[in-house]
Amino acid sequence: MDTRTVLKAQFSMALGILDGTVASCTQGMLDTVPAGGALQSLGVIAAHAAVNTDHFLNVGFAGGEMLLAQGDLAERAGIPTGDTWQTAAWVAKANVRKEPLQEYIQSLIGAVERVISDATDEQFDREVPAGPGTMPAWQSLGVIGLVHLLEHSGEVAAIAGTMGVRGPY
């Protein structure tokens, strides 16, 4: 199995977990800010995970445009566009809607397949900034993009579990 196949499978699995958890929630659950701590609503956390995955994949890796910036998806999903995500100002503007959020997550699954399959070897192997040094773009996508997505997908699933949602499985 090659690196491209592994990355596509891992991103598809992680996005599927996020999508399955969101599907198990009601809109009210997505709107709820859990008591205690410094958490945001499940909808905001899930949107943050999706937006950053979109940015890592379509802008950082592919050098293109985010899916969220195309058409009216951002408006329908209640996800603010801009250069930063999950700042206090971004969270205050977010009004995340379940069905368009799921549409967005599902479109990211297709984008992962397309972008990774279509990437040239040069694009895949080029060195990109990473912390104090650099790493190959494919590794950055996996280490930074995938870990971020899995972290927040797990966060959404765990918090949803406290609300009685079993999760995607």
Q: What is the CATH number of the domain that holds 69?
A: 1.20.120.450
| Residue 133 forms part of a structural domain | yes
pLDDT of amino acid 88: 85
| Residue 124 forms part of a structural domain | yes
Mind listing the pLDDT tens digit of every residue in the chain (169 residues)?
799 999 999 999 999 999 999 999 999 999 998 887 778 999 999 999 999 999 999 998 999 999 999 999 999 999 998 766 678 888 889 999 999 999 999 999 999 999 999 999 999 999 998 888 999 999 999 988 999 999 999 999 999 999 998 877 7
| Residue 102 forms part of a structural domain | yes
How many domains does one find in the chain? 1
Helix (H) and strand (E) counts for the chain? 9, 2
Report the C-alpha gap between 98 and 105 in whole angstroms: 11
pLDDT of amino acid 83: 64
| Residue 168 forms part of a structural domain | no
| Residue 151 forms part of a structural domain | yes
| Residue 153 forms part of a structural domain | yes
Report the C-alpha gap between 50 and 68 in whole angstroms: 9
Question: Whole-model pTM above 0.95?
Answer: no
Is residue 11 within 8 A of residue 123, CB to CB? The reply is: no
Is residue 73 within 8 A of residue 100, CB to CB? The reply is: yes
Is residue 163 within 8 A of residue 32, CB to CB? The reply is: yes
pLDDT of amino acid 84: 66
Which tokens go with 4? Answer: 């491209």
pLDDT of amino acid 57: 94
Which tokens go with 78? Answer: 């209640």
Report the C-alpha gap between 123 and 86 in whole angstroms: 29
Range of the domain at 92: 3-162
SS3 135: strand
| Residue 10 forms part of a structural domain | yes
| Residue 85 forms part of a structural domain | yes
